[in-house]
Amino acid sequence: RLLCNLALQSSDLTTIKVTWKKDNETIIANNTIANKKENQNILSDQHHCTPWQGSSSCQFQVRNTTFKANFLNCFCLFLVPAVEGKEKPIISYEGDSVVLICQSANYTPVEWVWYMSNGNAVSSFQMNDKYEVTGQHTNKTKLKVQKILEKDGGWYHCQAVFKLGESKGKVNIKVLSYMVPLKPFFAIAAEVVILVAIILLYEMYSKKKQTPIDEKEFEQIEQL
């Protein structure tokens, strides 16, 4: 944004013609209203420029006098809006569907492009089978991954295409097998089986050790 201010002692000014030029080419001409402050008329005007580099000037036409201000080596630059994804992983199980979300808080991009974990862009052909993209021309987009597999896990990137450039966000998917929740149960069951086996083996060993003693006592009784 370029801003021009001019203070004049004259008290009978109301509307003044203002002209903005870029590299000696008139880009806008309009009228501005003087604001009176402490016996002065404050002329103020601003120009919201587009991305560009060069020289610029503004001039106030007050009756037959022109007041001009020059801006040399101007830079009118804009930052590309940031895109918000999700840093924490989204946990899903094999065979389920998961929805990834990216958004631009205050600006709507021209379009959104989603990239899979392998770096390839999600094409319209794939959308019919595996992927579904919504909100491609709004400030929030969603990618639905269906019948997810372990190989589908990883980082997905959403790219917002603005007129001023591109901005990216990312979302992480962690895919688990349905066997994962059962692992603690299997571990406990295995420990129980091992414990029972040890007890049975100990009892069998104890019985075998007890049998020769009983036979020896029986022989001694017969001899008597």
Reported pTM: 0.48
Distance of CA 12 to the CA centre of its chain: 55
| Tokens encoding 115 | 């990239």
- pLDDT class for 204, splitting at 50, 70, 90? confident
88 vs 220, higher pLDDT: 88
pLDDT in tens, 178-203: 766 667 777 788 888 888 888 888 78
Tabulate helix, strand, coil % of the chain (nearest 5).
25, 50, 30
Domain 86-176 CATH class label: mainly beta
48 three-state secondary structure: coil
- Residue matched to tokens 């940031």: 82
Fill in the DSSP letter of residue 164. T
pLDDT of residue 38: 45
pLDDT of residue 118: 80
- Whether 145 shows a pLDDT value over 70: the answer reads yes
The hierarchical CATH code for the domain 2-76 is 2.60.40
Q: 210 Cβ partners below 8 Å, 6+ apart?
A: none
Fill in the DSSP letter of residue 150. G
- Surface-to-core class of residue 98, CB atoms within 10 Å of its CB (0-12 exposed, 13-18 middle, 19+ buried): buried
- Residue matched to tokens 């019985």: 207
Distance of CA 5 to the CA centre of its chain: 41
